[in-house]
Structure 1
């Protein structure tokens, strides 16, 4: 049993375990605490998202959807191994589960088959969603598996728990199947956590490659897309920029489509006018990306810029 730590301590633990962490918006204060208590905590629960695409997955787990408000977890582990923090406190990830499973997690032994749904899991577990289609065929890259191992190890190390304090959603709630798919061997994951906890943390993971946005191609899209018929996608880097604008709260996630249309121009102009974007005014904040404002956006939201 453990009391919740601070958001800053949570971030420190993940970084100390060598993970690449992406902070999304106001994650430290984004929660469902008004719906009930968070804690005492007994373990770490791993899920899959049934989604494709990191940016859209982050948006879903942060904001939720009709009938299930976000955050839907504390962190989302992407296929490249990055951990996107979307909430801290009570999150809508576990729902009701089996009291016998909870007792097994507390005792740090293998959980029995779950056949009840009467205990509030959102109160008692850290929750991590993992980017995966969940169809049983979508593979789990090694970078993602290693990040899952390190996330579990970081929290178990802090609380003095063993690897048996980690469980899958399918262990907790009847009818759930996550996580599953090629490369997801749960016993192997727990064995790796146990091995990691038995020694000193290894060196940090190599940083995943950052997306690269070509300024000239982006400008061409920004000038041509708004007047084009339909919503053509003329440059793939537009999606990277739109995802950053979504994270900045300047563009609706439903408009993250790779088309640099009028809504994206308007959102980018807001970024240019913002203090973080350079505080531009007049013609310098026309929504057509410039080198300085784009580099500032990339530095804050995780992409590089080439001319």
Structure 2
């Protein structure tokens, strides 16, 4: 037994379980307030819609019909597993059911056979209508069954309930057959398994192998750059100068320090805003660090 979640907490619980959720209009305030109680909450009820087509199903569940005003549930679970929120608060989904069933849900015990309709279920259960013709032939796609499992588990997790707080309409009200096409025992097993693991939280991208940080040549000192110097560092520097648009090479660059290297580096210094003696073509630490010469 629990106070109903706020609309924001309800939405967050579904999304945290990894569900794709679509908010339909002013669903947070669309309800049957004034026509009975809303809460305390005891469980989650699953239905099938006897409709075809997602948009048609969502419209009917949001608006209801002449004999039963909407909303007819809190969320519609489509064939592709998307959950459409159509109302929040009291909704016309459960109707009158068996008080013995309610007590076993509260006690989280096996559900007995329903044989009475004497208790207001609209006050006590969150309701999900699932898009299906309910003829035993219309398939239940894997994505839809997984979404039912996630939606039920999300609310059980939010309230600290076990899988025994999840029932079908057929277990609540005598004469009802929904949901038809899978058993509630199998769905409760799925919910139990999901609750047995820690909350998955929002879907996250798989971690990628981190790229190693680039390694640059430390500044070797101004004295390093003189005639006769032969080093792979000079080649790496020249390639970076070319990449920066500062290359002044007729050929190369190569490993021997030449006047072409000096002219190229002077062009890099001028590109950085240096002038006069500060653009003499001999590397200094500040300009070298900005050039980011890869380790050779």
Q: Pairwise mapping of residues 266-305 of structure 1 onto structure 2 (< 5 A)?
A: none
TM-score, normalised on structure 1? 0.65
Look up the SS of the partner of 2:76 in the other structure. strand
Look up the SS of the partner of 2:122 in the other structure. helix
Q: Residue 154 of structure 1 corresponds to which residue in structure 2?
A: 154
1:93 aligns with 2:89: no
2:16–2:200 CA contact under 8 A, matched in 1: no
Q: Residue 194 of structure 1 corresponds to which residue in structure 2?
A: 192
Q: Distance in 1 between matches of 2:15 and 2:39?
A: 23
Q: Distance in 2 between matches of 1:204 and 1:132?
A: 27
Using the TM superposition, give the Cα deviation of residue 71 of structure 1 relative to its aligned residue in structure 2, in angstroms.
0.1
Q: CA 1:204–1:16 in structure 2 vs 1: closer, same or farther (change >3 Å)?
A: closer
Q: Distance in 2 between matches of 1:44 and 1:203?
A: 20
Using the TM superposition, give the Cα deviation of residue 202 of structure 1 relative to its aligned residue in structure 2, in angstroms.
4.0
Q: Distance in 1 between matches of 2:35 and 2:28?
A: 17
1:153–1:196 CA contact under 8 A, matched in 2: yes
Q: Pairwise mapping of residues 27-46 of structure 1 onto structure 2 (< 5 A)?
A: 27-46=27-46
Look up the SS of the partner of 1:40 in the other structure. coil
Deviations 1:107-133 (A, max 9, x none): 111111111000000000000000000
Q: Distance in 2 between matches of 1:56 and 1:163?
A: 31
Q: Distance in 1 between matches of 2:116 and 2:190?
A: 30
Deviations 1:152-201 (A, max 9, x none): 110000111000000000000000000012xx232221111111111123
1:23–1:86 CA contact under 8 A, matched in 2: yes
Look up the SS of the partner of 1:128 in the other structure. strand
Q: Residue 220 of structure 2 corresponds to which residue in structure 1?
A: none
Q: Pairwise mapping of residues 163-178 of structure 1 onto structure 2 (< 5 A)?
A: 163-178=163-178
Q: Residue 111 of structure 2 corresponds to which residue in structure 1?
A: 111
Count of aligned pairs between the two proteins: 204
1:143 aligns with 2:143: yes
Q: Is there any run of 5+ residues in structure 1 with no aligned partner, and where?
A: 207-307
Q: Distance in 2 between matches of 1:191 and 1:205?
A: 23
1:20–1:205 CA contact under 8 A, matched in 2: no
2:16–2:203 CA contact under 8 A, matched in 1: no
Larger radius of gyration: 2
1:76 aligns with 2:76: yes
Give the superposed CA RMSD.
1.3
Q: CA 1:144–1:199 in structure 2 vs 1: closer, same or farther (change >3 Å)?
A: same
Q: Distance in 1 between matches of 2:126 and 2:75?
A: 9
Q: CA 1:35–1:175 in structure 2 vs 1: closer, same or farther (change >3 Å)?
A: same
1:38–1:90 CA contact under 8 A, matched in 2: yes
1:31–1:89 CA contact under 8 A, matched in 2: yes
